[in-house]
Structure 1
Amino acid sequence: MNMTVYGAEEKCASCIHLPSARETMEWLEAAITRKYPEIEFSFTYVDIDEPGTKEDHIYYANAIKDDEYFYPLVVAEGDVIAEGNPRLKEIYERIEQWKSNREEQL
């Protein structure tokens, strides 16, 4: 499962007491891989100020800059699963849905 976390080095004004987007990704990676050791995860961090050349990275970086989403923004398999201060419970629910759908396809 591919997960991408979008953020910026500079914290947003309402995020002063929260970890940075990069720290959030590291925290999510540790928690998720510990809970789901049977799933192979790939985590990517994308700085919205330097999103690179991939279309989806540019799209989400621009959407965050246009205030369509808050960062850190967590995207898994092309679906937005969390934004702002991500909640593990909600992310786990989305992983369970993905896992269930995947098992049905097999």
Structure 2
Amino acid sequence: MGEKKVEIIVYGAEQLCPSCVNLPSSKETYEWLEAAVSRKFPGQPFDITYVDIYSPPEESEKREFAERVIEEDMFYPVVLIGDKVVGEGNPRLKTIFAELETHGYRAD
């Protein structure tokens, strides 16, 4: 795969968003996603980063998006691939996999 590793970013918080009561936590979603992507695209490296929207990293892009999640009351976790939102609240693997495939990932 000649392309650069894709970074999947999961924006979330410890506390569940009010409308996400029965859903897994952001952290659980992040762990589940990491496992699912590794299984679907074995041997194809990717980066996955968890960003706590209430204590985002110094990196300005991540910080700004974290603020946006709060300001716009987005359902989190919000999953980004590149700068594209591929999941909100209850991300769907199908959507995430389809986006990864546009970046050159191939399912086995």
Q: Identity of paired residues, percent? A: 44
- Cα distance in 2 between the residues matched to 1:87 and 1:57: 22
- Cα distance in 1 between the residues matched to 2:23 and 2:15: 12
SS in 2 for 1:2: strand
Partner in structure 1 of residue 25 of structure 2: 20
Query: Where do 5+ consecutive residues of structure 1 fail to align?
Result: 101-106
TM-score (norm 1): 0.87
Q: Whose helix fraction is larger, Structure 1's or Structure 2's?
A: 1
Runs of 4+ in 1 over 6 A off after TM superposition: none
Alpha-carbon shift at residue 77 of structure 1 (Å): 2.2
Corresponding pairs, count = 100
Instruction: Decide which of 68, 71, 75 is 1:66's aligned counterpart.
Output: 71
- Cα distance in 1 between the residues matched to 2:84 and 2:42: 21
1:81 aligns with 2:98: no
- Cα distance in 2 between the residues matched to 1:68 and 1:11: 12
SS in 1 for 2:87: strand
1:1-106 to structure 2, matched below 5 A, reads 1-67=6-72, 69-99=74-104
SS in 2 for 1:99: coil
RMSD: 1.4
SS in 1 for 2:104: helix
Query: Where do 5+ consecutive residues of structure 2 fail to align?
Result: 1-5
The C-alpha deviation readout for 1:27-83, integer Å capped at 9, x for no partner, is 000001100013201111110000021111111111111126321011112322211
- Cα distance in 1 between the residues matched to 2:103 and 2:73: 24
- Once the two structures are overlaid, the 10-residue window that deviates more, 2-11 or 76-85, is 76-85
- Cα distance in 2 between the residues matched to 1:59 and 1:41: 23
